[in-house]
Amino acid sequence: MTTITATRAPSTTGSHFFADAAVLTGRSLKHITRSLDTIITTCITPIALMLLFVYVLGGAINTGTDVSYVSYLLPGILLITVASGVSYTAFRLFQDMQGGIVERFQSMPIARSSVLWAHVITSLVANLVSIVVVVGVALIMGFRTGASVLDWLAVAGILILFTLALTWLAVIPGLTAKTVDGASAFSYPLIFLPFISSAFVPTASMPGPVAWFAQYQPVTPIVDSIRALFTGQPVTGDIWIAMAWMVGILVVAYAFATNIYRRKVS
């Protein structure tokens, strides 16, 4: 267990939020570096899915485009990578809550919100590392892109916003779950959601009701936006729909999570 020593007066904690968040983030990141199986496990599922769909099922799938299937598939795989990773945020926060670590932090002169933000920043860093690994594997499998530097920056921005939205969503079960399985189980629907979207096949190939759901759920516009950026195609209005979904989820999840946290530690 990492020991954190605080020496300043409680009255000054508000002005030291960034320093507190940095120290607590360092603690969380040390836990990850001492247990690299967290990142490895996060990468295994999306890489296994990519191998399965490209080398086993890809030959039977007609995407209606001239891009390779691994290039078509990658945006959805990246979202699955994030969905797999954020489950560990709920798991780590649950452990801190049940182990009394959060209560111990609250007895110290530190900013209360820094505890949650440390978990969120840790999730962001860990997921970005996982994304880099998955993109590296995709390049080995034949992924090619004509995206410019600005396109890559736009993709990075979308993935960061998506990660923040899902991470704050993960904070809620991390704070409220009664068991460790309950804390992590919330991510299963998030991992499944890309399968009913344009991530693997065009939505037009699906039966009517399924196609309607796939077209209007949040994953499809996000996937379509990233795919357009990767292929150098004009980004349509999907990008604004994607942004609206991600910002909406982020704002609502943040509000619920911080409200629950205040009640838990008050």
Q: Given a cut of 50, is residue 11 above it in pLDDT?
A: no
Specify the pLDDT at position 9: 40
CA dihedral angle for residue 252, residue 255, residue 258, residue 259, rounded to 10 degrees: -120
Q: Which residue has the higher pLDDT, 5 or 96?
A: 96
With a CB cutoff of 8 Å and minimum separation 6, the contacts of 39 are 32, 126, 129, 130, 133
Question: Quick one: pLDDT at residue 256?
Answer: 94
Instruction: Of 9-18, 42-51, 115-124, 161-170, give the lowest mean pLDDT range.
Output: 9-18
Banded model confidence at residue 219, pLDDT cuts 50, 70, 90: very high
User: What is the model's pLDDT at position 232?
Assistant: 84
Of the listed ranges 22-26, 100-104, 225-229, the least confidently predicted one is 100-104
Average pLDDT of the chain is 84
Percentage of the chain modeled with pLDDT above 70: 85
Listed in sequence order, the residues at least 6 apart from 86 whose beta carbon sits closer than 8 Å to its beta carbon are 123, 127, 163, 166, 167, 169, 170, 187, 190
Residue 63, pLDDT above cutoff 90: no
Distance in Å from the first CA to the final CA of the chain:
24
Residue 263 CA: distances (Å) to CA of 144, 171, 176, 256: 49, 14, 11, 11
Which of 27-36, 98-107, 108-117, 144-153 shows the highest mean pLDDT? 144-153
Asked if 231 and 93 touch (Cβ cutoff 8 Å), the reply is no
| pTM exceeding 0.85 | yes
Express as a percent the part of the chain with pLDDT over 90. 47
Is the pLDDT at 6 greater than 50, yes or no? no
Q: What is the pLDDT of residues 18-45, one digit of tens each?
A: 777 777 777 777 777 666 666 677 788 8
